Amino acid sequence: MNFDDTENTLDRFFTGLSEHVFHARLGVVDTQIVDYISGLLVRFSRFDAMNRVRQLNGQPAVEVVVMVAEAEMRVGEARREVHRHIGDYTLFWTGVYPEALRDMRAPDKKDQFVSYCAQGKRAYRIASSIRCEQTKASNDLLQRLSDQFEMCAYGLREIRREWERRDGDGDSDVPFLLI
């Protein structure tokens, strides 16, 4: 299976799970949010997408505090994209792997006092306020992600439960791996 086939399979898998969880189980009919969530899962299945914000020295910004500092040094669309990434990053970890937050916020980490939920909501709100010509997500959608951050995180936890249940039943040949 080549990379394109894997990405298409992941896309179908996460789209199906997202629609099932958000539409059928949670009663959320905002198709833009559901599509965004499934796209987020596909994007973050690639490790390089999770670490796409770079510091001036070229090193990836892997802590939210560092990402926020990087966002503040940028203007326009570049600033918007870093804030959107912070929202995506915090939503992913808060929703899909909340158990990892304890280590990510350990006393020896810069993020030790960071609330991923509060920072994610803030980042989406800031991104939604920056106007730009070409957008991967509308400002209105980013504002809704900010307003509904907790619900989206809960939906992501339910998606994880569903794929783990399916994986345990042998129904799925698409494990979630960071490639």
pLDDT at residue number 5: 61
Q: For residue range 20-71, what is the model confidence (pLDDT) as tens digits?
A: 999 999 999 999 999 999 999 999 988 888 888 988 888 989 899 999 999 9
Predicted TM-score (pTM) of this structure: 0.88
The structure tokens listed for 132 are 């730009």
pLDDT at residue number 178: 43
Domain-by-domain residue ranges, the chain? 3-169
- CA dihedral angle for residue 148, residue 11, residue 97, residue 123, rounded to 10 degrees: -40
Q: For residue range 103-132, what is the model confidence (pLDDT) as tens digits?
A: 999 999 999 999 999 999 999 999 999 988
- CA dihedral angle for residue 71, residue 72, residue 73, residue 74, rounded to 10 degrees: 60
Q: For residue range 136-174, what is the model confidence (pLDDT) as tens digits?
A: 789 999 999 999 999 999 999 999 999 898 776 544 444
3-state helix, strand, coil in the chain (%, to 5): 70, 0, 30
